[in-house]
Amino acid sequence: MRRMRAKVVAATVAAAAVVTVSACGGDSEEAAEAPSSAAGSSAEPGSADGNPAGERSDGSTPPGTELKLGEKAVIPYEAEQGDGMVAITVTAIERGDQAAFDKKFGDDDSAGIVPYYVRYTARNVGDVQLGHRDKIRLKGRTADGKVSNIVLIGDLDECVERSFPRTGGNTGTSIESCVLVGSRSGEITAVTYNRGSAGYSSDPINWRA
């Protein structure tokens, strides 16, 4: 099996460095986010379709919205066919399999990283086809409110990140996915979305247990 790759990228913001650990040889990199509550937590049964408070005029969830696991946020989503809308529901935060992580990603740069699985569903609620666009980049937050500056590129057998299918992805299409996040500085207790041009980069949406 091919040797997995790890990179350390110097950060230009307050964090000392961004650790990018790759299991697939990809070249994606992200800078650490500025700081903005549980591992092993999951949504209550029947709450996966919960609605956020205070939608904007376009139906999207306002920046800065605080949600519980199992509640949904609706975000703008850029696609080749036009701007769409996606409903995201974070359903669980689980501490990952340390042995499996170390076996697949293990090298000097990944030493001390504790993996977590963030499980979520995404549903196309807009009017455009979203086939095979960028994955939805959710990040972990530690108990002190800081966004983890560790970017993990790759999957484990128990946590595979998916995107909308290349063919399909029409209105009503849903996917179940899992994003692998990591921390060296404390337990991941919340999930954040801080991407896009709709104000979320400066005032993200957060899900907490």
Residue 151, token pair as written in the block: 């970017």
In the chain, DSSP finds a helix count (H) and a strand count (E) of 1, 12
| CA angle 111–177–90, rounded 5-degree value | 90
Show the domains of the chain with their CATH numbers. 5-208 (2.60.40.1240)
DSSP state letter for 108? G
One digit per residue, the tens of pLDDT, for the chain of length 209 reads: 444 443 333 232 333 334 555 554 433 333 334 433 345 655 544 434 454 456 667 789 999 999 999 999 999 887 666 678 999 999 999 999 999 999 999 877 888 999 999 999 999 998 887 776 667 889 999 999 999 978 788 899 999 998 888 776 788 889 999 999 999 989 999 999 998 777 899 999 999 98
Q: pTM of the predicted model, to two decimals?
A: 0.75
